[in-house]
Amino acid sequence: MKGIVAYDSVYGNTKLVAEAIAEQLRSDGYDVELVSVKESKTAPMGDFMFIGSPTRIGRPTKEAKKFVEDLSVDFWKSRPIVIFDTVGPFPEDKEKREKWLARIEKSAASRLRDLARSRGLNIDQELLHFAVTGFKGPLAPDALAMAKDSAHKFVATLQ
């Protein structure tokens, strides 16, 4: 099976999360294509996809939004898509950060999910949020481990 990990990144944090997801998927035995939505010229094809964007004032980047708008509904309507984002700044304290992450209502991930669903794409129920602890980063200390764990759990559902 082939997985696509597509992302946009402004300060490099979302790219790091995408790379961690791709690394875990490869470790789990999947062929993976890592795609920067800014550099992508053709629609990616695979058996499943992760799409990520940084949250910019509660929204995804325009490039991530356009990427979702341009996906082939005929191709992706029956293949699972997982949406993730980076969001913050959040406190460095893990317990406080987890409480804040649980309260997120509008973010890049939620808006991309809504857009994709409105187009008829097959979106996984769970949105993945990865915290940054400053405006430009860095990622929270547990973010990359959480990204790998989320990817591993997702592919376990494909079995």
CA dihedral 146, 151, 155, 156 (to 10 degrees): -10
Range of the domain at 107: 2-158
82-116 confidence digits (pLDDT tens): 999 999 887 778 888 777 777 777 899 999 999 99
Count of structural domains within the chain: 1
Q: What is the CATH number of the domain that holds 101?
A: 3.40.50.360
The percent of residues above 70 in pLDDT, for the chain, comes to 100
Whole-prediction pTM: 0.93
The rounded distance, in Å, linking the Cα atoms of 150 and 144 is 10
